[in-house]
Amino acid sequence: MLVGERGPVPALIIDAYGGLAITTGGEVHDRLLAGFATLGFEFPDWICREGEGADPVDEKDCTPGLTALLEGDEVRLLHDGRELYRLGKLRYFPRWYRATNRGALVVMIGRNLQGMTFDSLEYIQRAAKSKELVQAVAAISRIPTAPADRCYCINGKVRTFASCCDSADGPEE
Ligand SMILES: [Zn+2]
């Protein structure tokens, strides 16, 4: 998560190498990221995490036209209503879900991020340094899961939505 003026803002990081590339041949990498740049994505020089001097982020920073819709374990990323990505089988912590209450979602799309984890930003920072990563802030909205349904988060197999991500007293992880 990145830190924001009103608390932590969740991030969604997409590895656009392998499977998600939308063109073949030639300048594939540049074309894809440049395309996102025309939609308001920026090339950050450095990515920080909470407590490491991250720039404040909140819903005021949302990129015009960019929205994210979270339903269950799926996120749809849209620009002016046109779908850019549909990401299924999302794995997130309950605290990540609750942080979407802030109304803002940092979206990073980068290359060669297959080694990334929550604990290390090494791959992400390397991609940013080599201009192989773009970033924007999407206004996020959620479609809640039914209260009695199994939660879609990482630990959702043993928890209902009402006792997990939809509960302020629910688990952190
Ligand atoms: Zn949950």
Pull the structure tokens for residue 50.
């909470």
Pull the structure tokens for residue 58.
């909140």
Per-residue pLDDT tens over the stretch 17-44: 644 455 566 545 467 888 899 999 999 8
Identify whether 88 is part of a domain: yes
Ligand 1 center from residue 102 Cα (angstroms): 17
pTM for the whole structure? 0.85
Low-confidence ranges of the chain (pLDDT < 70): 1-7, 17-30, 49-56, 115-119
Residue ranges making up the domain that contains 20: 11-145
Secondary structure of the chain as H, E, C letters: CECCCCCCECEEEEECCCCCCCCCCCCHHHHHHHHHHCCCCECCCCCCCCCCCCCCCCHHHCCCCEEEEEECCEEEEEECCEEEEEECCCCCCHHHHHHHHHCEEEEEEECCCCCCCCCCCHHHHHHHHCCCEEEEEEEEEEECCCCCCECCCCCHHHCECCCCCCCCCCCCC
Pull the structure tokens for residue 54.
């991250």
Please give the tally of structural domains in the chain: 1
Ligand 1 center from residue 98 Cα (angstroms): 9
Question: What pLDDT was estimated at residue 68?
Answer: 96
Identify whether 44 is part of a domain: yes
Q: What is the chain's Cα-based Rg?
A: 16
Identify whether 127 is part of a domain: yes
Identify whether 3 is part of a domain: no
What is the four-CA torsion angle of 77, 80, 84, 89, rounded to 10 degrees?
A: 20
Question: What pLDDT was estimated at residue 32?
Answer: 84
Ligand 1 center from residue 37 Cα (angstroms): 33
Ligand 1 center from residue 11 Cα (angstroms): 17
Identify whether 118 is part of a domain: yes
Identify whether 166 is part of a domain: no
Identify whether 165 is part of a domain: no
Max Cα-Cα span within the chain: 51
User: Are 113 and 17 in contact, with CB atoms under 8 Å apart?
Assistant: yes
Ligand 1 center from residue 18 Cα (angstroms): 29
Identify whether 6 is part of a domain: no
Question: What pLDDT was estimated at residue 1?
Answer: 63
Question: What pLDDT was estimated at residue 27?
Answer: 47
